[in-house]
Amino acid sequence: GAGVSQSPSNKVTEKGKDVELRCDPISGHTALYWYRQSLGQGLEFLIYFQGNSAPDKSGLPSDRFSAERTGGSVSTLTIQRTQQEDSAVYLCASSHPQTGGTEAFFGQGTRLTVV
Amino acid sequence: ILNVEQSPQSLHVQEGDSTNFTCSFPSSNFYALHWYRWETAKSPEALFVMTLNGDEKKKGRISATLNTKEGYSYLYIKGSQPEDSATYLCAFIGYDSTLTFGKGTMLLVSP
């Protein structure tokens, strides 16, 4: 596709279940970012990938959160044993930092609700 | 993680008011600064890409300035309208090409 695609767009899950969120970046974009925004809060950085490696995982809130990226393309963010505080909009963005100054393109986000 | 700060965190103004927000960032290793607008239920979209000290960009009623020496950028909205309600994000790009976003300023414009 032409843009960044995230799935699912909405996910309601029961507390304690695992969830997997997917991001399909723009083809050729080497950098991929995951963020989340909880209700009433600011944008929170989670993890950054350059190719398949994650030079910065500092934003992952706990060891229940993990992310991987394969083939320098699709990324999945996995949350194990979900808690209510995990409820948020999870945003993925990609960019092509070859020349710098290149804007980030965002997906529509996944709205996660943990009940 | 670099320190990119946005203030205020949220802002509520009346239609017709003019307003501005601040993005502060490290003054070293600067390559570019981006502003994005994130409307509810949509993806954030780029408003401005700024690279030079003293840059001033304008799009309709929205404008932005850049001071790379002191590490700040201002976003101005003249005569706010309800459709300007959104979260405004700034992103710092360093020479290593990584983007670091601020937490955003949530603007609500009441009719």
| Predicted local distance difference test score (pLDDT) of residue A102 | 66
Q: Strand order in B19-24's β-sheet? A: B5-7, B19-24, B72-77, B62-67, B56-59
Instruction: Give chain B's contact residues with A (Cβ, < 8 Å).
Output: 1, 6, 9, 31-32, 34, 36, 38, 42-46, 49, 51, 87, 89, 91, 93, 95, 97-104, 106
User: d(Cα A110, Cα A79) in Å, to the nearest integer?
Assistant: 13
> How many CB pairs (< 8 A) connect A and B?
73
A22 Cβ neighbours under 8 A, 6+ residues apart:
A6, A7, A74, A75, A76, A77
User: Do A76 and A22 contact (CB within 8 A), yes or no?
Assistant: yes
Please tell me which residue of chain A has the smallest CA distance to B93: A101
Question: Confidence band (pLDDT; 50, 70, 90) for A40?
Answer: confident
Our measurement of the distance from residue A38's CA atom to the centroid of its chain's CA atoms, rounded to an integer in Å, reads: 13
How big is chain B by its Cα radius of gyration, in Å? 13
CB–CB of B1 and A45 under 8 A? yes
A60 Cβ neighbours under 8 A, 6+ residues apart:
A46, A47, A66, A67
Please tell me which residue of chain B has the smallest CA distance to A108: B43
| Predicted local distance difference test score (pLDDT) of residue B71 | 95
How big is chain A by its Cα radius of gyration, in Å? 13
B67 Cβ neighbours under 8 A, 6+ residues apart:
B53, B54, B73
| Predicted local distance difference test score (pLDDT) of residue A46 | 94
A8 prior amide bond cis, ω within 30: yes
Look at A99 and A35; give whichever has higher pLDDT. Answer: A35
Which residues make beta-bridge pairs with B101?
A: B91
Helix (H) / strand (E) element for B96: namely none
For A11-33, what is the mean pLDDT? 94
For A20-42, what is the mean pLDDT? 91
A21 φ, ψ (degrees, to nearest 5):
-110, 140
Mean pLDDT for all residues in chain B: 93
Range in A18-22, B15-19, B25-29, B80-84 the model is least confident about: B25-29
User: Do A21 and A42 contact (CB within 8 A), yes or no?
Assistant: no
CB–CB of B34 and A103 under 8 A? yes
Question: Confidence band (pLDDT; 50, 70, 90) for B23?
Answer: very high
Q: What is the pLDDT of residues A57-107, one digit of tens each?
A: 888 999 999 999 988 899 999 999 999 999 999 999 998 866 444 688 999
For B29-58, what is the mean pLDDT? 92
Judging contacts by C-beta atoms under 8 Å, the chain B residues touching residue A42 are 6, 9, 102-104, 106
User: d(Cα A91, Cα A108) in Å, to the nearest integer?
Assistant: 7
Please tell me which residue of chain B has the smallest CA distance to A58: B1
| Predicted local distance difference test score (pLDDT) of residue A56 | 81
For B66-95, what is the mean pLDDT? 95
| Predicted local distance difference test score (pLDDT) of residue B1 | 61
Residue B93 distance to chain A (closest CA, Å): 7
